[in-house]
């Protein structure tokens, strides 16, 4: 029976073609980026430096500046500002009881530089900040979860001195916490959360700090709320002010309700920088889990066709691999 | 280190992770390690941390430590292990363990020091 359903789903998906492929990821462009500076620059660095001490950060920057003779290209930094403040401590108890400390601990500062395509001598630099004000889906904020982890980690401790290889201890800790975290997430997948991010950029025509041009800025916000016990409402927005070509508000919202194996969904997206004249799209329908982590999605919605200038209403169908117990569009905290 | 005085080992957790830890000592000639401290972030997250007393220990003794941390992925961590005698921190007696958890939220810091 399951094979027949899967075969039917494959046929449906093939028939739907591009229209179906667009539906599942429709909100991703508006999601809060993990590192706003890199998203602003439109780059995904292969390696991101994450210093936690001011000395290491200053030393690394000084070396990069000295090596490049100006603003270094390819810089990719992601830091937690609280860890650079002398004397500031955010132990777990404070993280769980002090909302300001929670937000501070979940604030990330990102800095990135790239060579712009239009100016081979220049450098684009962006600075971004991202913070989560609250997230009921953060297991570290739950004392019951952290107590269970504490008890579980005891079994990973060495008995006869610090002689066990790191890899053995790490593997044990991952196994213990992985099981607890997975179970906890299954129970809190649709929890409420609120997060913001922003980034701004400058172009340095000769890669020197003496002159620069303003590139603009972008801001993101994401909020999620549980919809009864089996659903979630998710809203995401992005505002761009980047030169003459990209300026406007873009947003998306999605709601769905159901069980771990079937749900109904509705979503709307609005692309504020769309130039085709039809910036708003919507979709609604049914999602059915036909196999573990394998979903059939079908419904009605607007799609952009390659041969048409405007979006049209169409029946859509889609197959996608998914983790059924996680929010469709990923969590706010990675 | 003064071999006639006991040694105080202070542990302070400064970052938002669950932490379990153990401290051992090994005297010259000992075949193995002897456990003298067993704690968690619940005991050691106050501003003054938690202090364990051991010894006196003969010259050449080693202190072994193991900290197992679990938090959110790629988050900053900081643990301080300070060794003192008579309330005075020993030269090279302050060990700051820093870094980030890995992409599963786990970090392990272990090793040994000669106080």
Q: What interface predicted TM-score (ipTM) does this complex get? A: 0.92
Q: Which residue has the tokens 């990102």?
A: A110
When CB atoms are compared, the residue of B16, B24, B110 closest to A92 is: B16
- What's the DSSP call for residue A38? H
Q: How far is CA A26 from CA A31, A156, A284, A285, in A?
A: 10, 43, 12, 14
Q: What is the pTM of this model?
A: 0.80
Residue B11 is predicted with a pLDDT of 95
* pLDDT, tens only, B36-91: 999 999 987 778 888 999 989 999 999 999 999 999 998 999 999 999 998 899 98
As given in the structure block, the two tokens for residue A248 are 């406007």
The answer to whether the Cβ–Cβ distance between B68 and A333 falls below 8 Å is no
Contacts of residue A110, defined as CB under 8 A and 6 or more positions apart, other chains included, come to A35, A36, A37, A38, A77, A78, A79, A126, A127, A128, A129, A130, A199
Is residue B6 over pLDDT 80? yes
Residue A289 is predicted with a pLDDT of 76
Distance between first and last Cα of chain A? 37
Q: Are residues A279 and A302 in contact, defined by beta-carbon separation less than 8 angstroms?
A: no
Residue A316 is predicted with a pLDDT of 59
Determine contact: B41 vs chain A, CB below 8 A.
yes
Q: How far is B82 from A172, CA to CA, in rounded Å?
A: 27
B-chain residues within 8 Å CB-CB of A168?
none
Residue A6 is predicted with a pLDDT of 43
CB burial of residue A107 (10 Å; 0-12, 13-18, 19+): middle
The answer to whether the Cβ–Cβ distance between B64 and A105 falls below 8 Å is no
Tell me which chain B residue has its CA closest to the CA of residue A104.
Answer: B16
Residue A317 is predicted with a pLDDT of 56
When CB atoms are compared, the residue of B20, B65, B98 closest to A53 is: B98
Determine contact: B101 vs chain A, CB below 8 A.
no
Within 10 A of B81 (CB to CB), how many other CB atoms are there? 22
Residue-level pLDDT, tens digit, chain A, 334 residues? 444 444 444 333 333 333 333 334 444 556 678 888 988 888 887 778 787 766 777 777 777 776 766 778 888 888 889 988 888 999 999 999 999 999 999 999 999 888 887 777 888 899 999 999 999 989 999 999 999 999 999 999 999 889 889 999 999 999 999 999 988 988 888 889 999 999 999 988 877 777 888 989 999 999 999 988 888 898 989 898 887 677 888 888 888 888 767 888 888 888 877 666 677 888 888 888 777 667 787 888 776 555 555 555 555 555 554 433 333 333 333 3
For A114-144, b/e burial (b = at least 16 CB within 10 A) is: bebeeeeebbbbbbbbbbbbbbebbbbbbee
Interface with chain B: mutation pick from A34, A47, A89, A135, highest number of B CBs within 10 Å? A89
B-chain residues within 8 Å CB-CB of A151?
none
Q: How far is B32 from chain A (nearest CA, A)?
A: 7
Determine contact: B30 vs chain A, CB below 8 A.
no
A114's enclosing H/E stretch is strand A107-114
């Amino acid at each position: 029976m399951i094979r027949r359903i899967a075969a039917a789903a494959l046929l449906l998906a093939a028939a739907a073609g591009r229209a179906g492929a667009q539906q599942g990821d429709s909100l991703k462009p508006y999601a809060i980026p993990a590192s706003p500076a890199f998203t602003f620059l439109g780059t995904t660095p292969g390696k991101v430096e994450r210093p936690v001490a001011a000395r290491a950060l200053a030393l690394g920057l000084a070396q990069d500046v000295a090596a490049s003779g100006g603003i270094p290209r390819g810089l990719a930094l992601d830091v937690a500002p609280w860890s650079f403040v002398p004397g500031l401590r955010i132990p777990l108890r404070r993280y769980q009881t002090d909302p300001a400390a929670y937000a501070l601990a979940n604030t990330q500062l990102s800095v990135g530089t790239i060579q712009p395509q239009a100016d081979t001598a220049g450098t684009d630099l962006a600075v971004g900040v991202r913070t989560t004000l609250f997230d009921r889906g953060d297991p570290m904020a739950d004392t019951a979860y952290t107590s269970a982890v504490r008890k579980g980690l005891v079994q990973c401790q060495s008995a006869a001195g610090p002689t066990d290889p790191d890899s053995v201890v790490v593997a044990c800790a991952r196994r213990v916490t992985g099981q607890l975290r997975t179970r906890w997430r299954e129970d809190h997948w649709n929890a409420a959360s609120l997060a913001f991010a922003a980034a701004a950029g400058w172009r340095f025509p000769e890669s020197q700090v003496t002159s620069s041009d303003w590139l603009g800025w972008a801001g993101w916000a994401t909020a999620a709320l549980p919809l009864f016990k089996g659903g979630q409402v998710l809203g995401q927005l992005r505002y761009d002010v980047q030169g003459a070509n990209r300026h406007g508000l873009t947003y998306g919202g999605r709601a769905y309700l159901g069980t771990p194996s079937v749900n109904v969904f509705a979503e709307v997206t609005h692309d504020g920088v769309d130039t085709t004249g039809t910036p708003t799209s919507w979709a609604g329908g049914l999602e059915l889990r036909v196999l573990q982590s394998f979903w059939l999605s079908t419904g009605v919605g607007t799609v952009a066709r390659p041969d048409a200038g405007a979006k049209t209403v169409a029946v859509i169908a889609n197959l996608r691999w998914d983790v059924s117990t996680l929010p469709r569009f990923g969590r706010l905290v990675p | 280190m003064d071999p006639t005085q006991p040694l105080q080992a202070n542990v302070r957790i400064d970052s938002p992770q669950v932490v379990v830890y153990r401290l051992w000592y090994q005297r010259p000639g000992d075949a193995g390690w002897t456990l003298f401290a067993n704690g968690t972030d619940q005991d050691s997250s106050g501003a003054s941390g938690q202090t364990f007393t051991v010894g006196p220990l003969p010259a050449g003794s080693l202190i072994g430590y193991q900290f197992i941390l679990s938090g959110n992925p790629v988050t900053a961590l900081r643990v301080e292990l300070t060794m003192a005698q008579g309330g005075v921190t020993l030269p090279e007696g302050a060990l700051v363990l820093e870094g980030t958890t890995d992409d599963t939220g786990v970090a392990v810091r272990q090793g040994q020091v000669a106080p």
